[in-house]
Amino acid sequence: MTAAAIATNLAVLGYYKYANFFIDSTNHFLGWHLDVLAVLLPLGISFFTFTQIAFLVDVYRGIAREYSFANYLLFVTYFPHLIAGPVLHHKQMMPQFANPDTFRINPHNIAAGLTVFVLGLAKKVLIADNLALAATPLFNAASAGVPLTFFEAWIAAFAYTLQLYFDFSGYCDMAVGISLLFNVKLPINFDSPYQSASIIDFWRRWHMTLSAFLRDYLYIPMGGSRHGGPMRRHANLMITMLLGGLWHGAGWTFVVWGGLHGVYLIINHGWRALASRFGIAHASVPWRLASVALTFIAVVVGWVFFRADKFDTAWNVLAGMAGLHGVSLPFITSVTLPKIAFVALFIGAILVWACPNLQRLLEQHMSVEHPEMHWPAIVIKAKSLLSFVNPSALMAVTSALLLFFVVLAIRSNGPSEFLYFEF
């Protein structure tokens, strides 16, 4: 019964998200001429499908014991996280829904939630959307066959790398803030991933709830690293990352992105085993800086495939990053880019590498629930959050001014989509 229920969820996801991908691939590789289907992709289908699968597996394992249909619907359709995460766990949410205090107005939670919401919205509107003004035209030029020079390619890749982070982490912060208004605490989803000193560390910091889902419901059930030796572990890692890439988008560039990270992880595990065997120490500051730089470059290369609409676009950008299309003067590009895009690049870089993130600022105010699970159930304690945001007149004015500039930016630039809305 459990297998049938999971298969049904995957079949629905496969039809809506991957039917035309398989039709296009079949036409391309076999020379057929099958007509594509008129399919409208439901918003957030991957997120609520994963949520339902996690619930089914937990019921099968005896972890989830609360079966109220009304609460199940609330759990699956809870709107703050529905479109772009974080991926939620049944045991994280049910105790909160069952708590009578959840249904009472809480001024502390409202103040904290509004503050976090404004911070997330500012990340999205003031930083991510302005970074798109550099990334989008340069990637569009690469897609049209314009060879990008060294600096053009790196500006494109770097701008998109920061855009994706501030777009997605901004949404997750907004989801956390909105949920706090309803007295429900969601897990933090990012922990300064671009400060990671290894790819293994990166996947513990980037989209943490998805990483945990792939580990607990795919990698470990396949055997993880416990059975079959290193080769089996590497195969499990590669399968997990390939499926994780395909989950992000119905395209071969996403599969390559997932496979590339699978290769990264295999190399990283191999290096750790080699360093441990020969007693290679790597605790010095220069070593860590070099490790962070190398990890970031590897991640940027992967994001090029993630962003490219086709392989030719990715090869164009990567060739430019390697200097194969020539080296122009810094910040002199064949595509006209607004100055605000470079300001956003500068501010974004400072926030990524020189400032603590929401999790680090609040880690002393967090708690980990359900330690028997491998799931990252780190949630905000709203009253303690207020000790950080300091609900004074100054903080209120600061938040109001930030929101004012966000509204002005939205009014000036018009609406923009969240990059993760269709994943």
Following DSSP, what letter does each residue of 237-268 receive, concatenated?
HHHHHHHHHHHH-SSHHHHHHHHHHHHHHHHH
Res 397: pLDDT? 77
The stretch 180-191 carries a mean pLDDT of: 87
The stretch 54-61 carries a mean pLDDT of: 82
Tell me the C-alpha to C-alpha distance, in Å, between residue 150 and each of 43, 128, 138, 176: 37, 23, 12, 39
373/368 Cα distance (integer angstroms): 10
Residue 234 among the catalytic residues: no
pLDDT digits (tens, 9 = 90+) for 259-300: 999 999 999 998 888 887 777 766 678 888 999 999 999 999
pLDDT digits (tens, 9 = 90+) for 345-395: 999 999 999 887 766 665 544 443 433 334 444 455 544 555 555 555 666
**DSSP code of residue 367:** E
171/421 Cα distance (integer angstroms): 10
The stretch 404-421 carries a mean pLDDT of: 79
Please name which of 338, 311, 24, 332 lies closest in space to residue 142, comparing C-alpha atoms: 311
> Is the separation of the CB atoms in 146 and 319 below 8 Å?
no
Model confidence at 34: pLDDT above 50? yes
The kind and range of the H/E element at 57 are: helix 45-61
Report which listed range, 35-44, 54-63, 164-173, is most confident: 164-173
Q: Which one of 81, 248, 261, 325 is the catalytic residue?
A: 248
355/347 Cα distance (integer angstroms): 11
SS3 label, residue 373: coil
Residues with Cβ within 8 Å of residue 264, at least 6 apart in sequence: 199, 298, 302
% the chain with pLDDT above 70? 86
